[in-house]
Amino acid sequence: MLVAFSAALTAYSSRPALLLSRLITLLHTSDFLLTAVLLFFVGLIVFMGRRWEQYEFGIAFGLGVNAAALLATFAIFSKFVPLHGILRELPVFGEDAASVIWLVTFLRPERSKAIPAESITPEVLEEARKWKETLKGSLSRNKNSD
């Protein structure tokens, strides 16, 4: 919303060069914040010991590639080096690479996590049924008391 407002303000301004430079700075700052949030969540998942599943890894990897391209563009742009050739298209290549990663990730079916039936003994199954009935009784008593 803030970026859209700044873009509209730049389009109708009497000094568009100044506002355009502010808009570009705002866009690059939002790219930096996006990368910082992504790194925070990856660090949080690693710290919590969560295992990466196929789809989660594909999404995070695509976002990481896109964020890396945006940060590389920001680093080059901040040195006031004129962007020529392929460097100018780096964010586009980052978006394309992320899209390909997501496409490949979601085209492959996710591996089944079901426990093989032969590994469950009848005693364990009977114990699970007893716990199920106990929990059902506990929940129905709580509903009746309300």
Domain ranges of the chain: 30-113, 117-146
Q: What CA–CA distance (Å, rounded) separates 130 from 123?
A: 11
Residues 6+ apart with CB under 8 A from 78: 28
Residues 6+ apart with CB under 8 A from 89: none
pLDDT by residue (tens digit) across 81-94? 666 677 778 888 98
Q: Residue 50, exposed/middle/buried by CB under 10 A (0-12, 13-18, 19+)?
A: exposed
Q: What CA–CA distance (Å, rounded) separates 87 from 29?
A: 19
Asked if residues 53 and 47 have their Cβ atoms less than 8 Å apart, the reply is: no
pLDDT by residue (tens digit) across 20-67? 777 777 877 887 888 888 888 888 888 888 888 888 888 888 988 988
Q: Which is higher by pLDDT, 12 or 71?
A: 71
Q: What CA–CA distance (Å, rounded) separates 2 from 104?
A: 34
Kindly report whether the global pTM for this prediction surpasses the value 0.75.
no
Average pLDDT, the chain: 79
